[in-house]
Amino acid sequence: MLENVNLEKVLFLDIETVSQAKNYDELPEAIRFHWENKSDKIEKEGESAFDTYNRAGIYAEFGKIVCISVGYIKIEHGDKNLRIKSFFNHDEKILLSNFFEVLNQHFNSPQHLLCAHNGKEFDFPYIARRALINGLKIPQILDLAGKKPWEVNHLDTLHLWKFGDYKNYTSLSLLTTIFNIPTPKDDIDGSMVNEVYWKDNNLERIAIYCQKDVVALTQLFLRFKNEPLITESNIIIN
């Protein structure tokens, strides 16, 4: 039951991903072959493998992580404070290594939990897959090998909202709207991250967008627990 979740043991997170190359023409021939096979399954009428490649970032085999933003709650003098930190780098291995250092040092006990929106289908497996591709050891909290379902310390606000219904996807944006969670207007959305990265080379802008999603995720989880939202003055971005 969510009322039993210790908020100070939860790490809220969101990731931003992009395609591994700027465009289809820059792909190595071997990868291009596999992307063409993938594109055949996802392309809409009139699209080619070149057209679909701007969506390659959502697949761990063809994309890479450029930002992971995390948030954790500290309760001080009865007030909840949300501390936000982002890991972003053009070198995915450096980014993941820095993030894993935090997990291994501070979120490595059976009491710790990871929380993301659609994390079980996207964020958590994506991070683990990219770790293997980069030759990194997967932190215990992300490594599912040999674990029973009740031993997996992952929370997913999408799954919590579904209440066992697997037919539909509900976006974080829609949930924050219906729960009256204030969210700042953004100059980008998720569909623009690939372009902002490859055309504008603006990792900081992507990190700011990612941080806002972590704030929204955390506030939504508090709504699910029927607890007051964290005030803006108690949100600290490191």
pLDDT of residue 185: 64
Is-contact 72 12, C-beta < 8 A? yes
Written as six digits, the tokens of 208 are 């700011």
What class is the 2-20+62-237 domain? Answer: alpha beta
Question: Who's near 62: CB < 8 A, 6+ residues apart?
Answer: 19, 20, 31, 34, 35, 38, 56
3-class secondary structure, 47:
coil
Q: Would the CA dihedral through 75, 104, 88, 29 be positive or negative? A: negative
What are the boundaries of each domain within the chain?
2-20+62-237
pLDDT at residue 190, as a whole number: 83
- How high is the pLDDT of residue 188? 82
Give residue 238's pLDDT: 85
Q: Note the pLDDT of residue 9.
A: 97
CA distance 37 to 204: 34
Residues 61, 214: Cα–Cα separation, whole Å = 25
Place of tokens 């995720």: 217
pLDDT of the residue at 184: 72
Among positive and negative, which fits the CA dihedral 220, 226, 229, 234? Answer: negative
Could you list the pLDDT tens digit for every one of the 238 residues in the chain?
798 999 999 999 999 999 999 999 999 999 999 999 999 999 898 899 999 999 999 999 999 999 999 999 999 888 999 999 999 999 999 999 999 999 999 999 999 999 999 999 999 999 999 999 999 999 999 999 989 988 899 999 999 999 988 888 999 999 999 999 988 767 788 888 999 999 999 999 999 999 999 999 999 999 999 999 999 999 999 8
Separation CA 181–CA 85 (nearest Å): 21
pLDDT score, position 45:
86
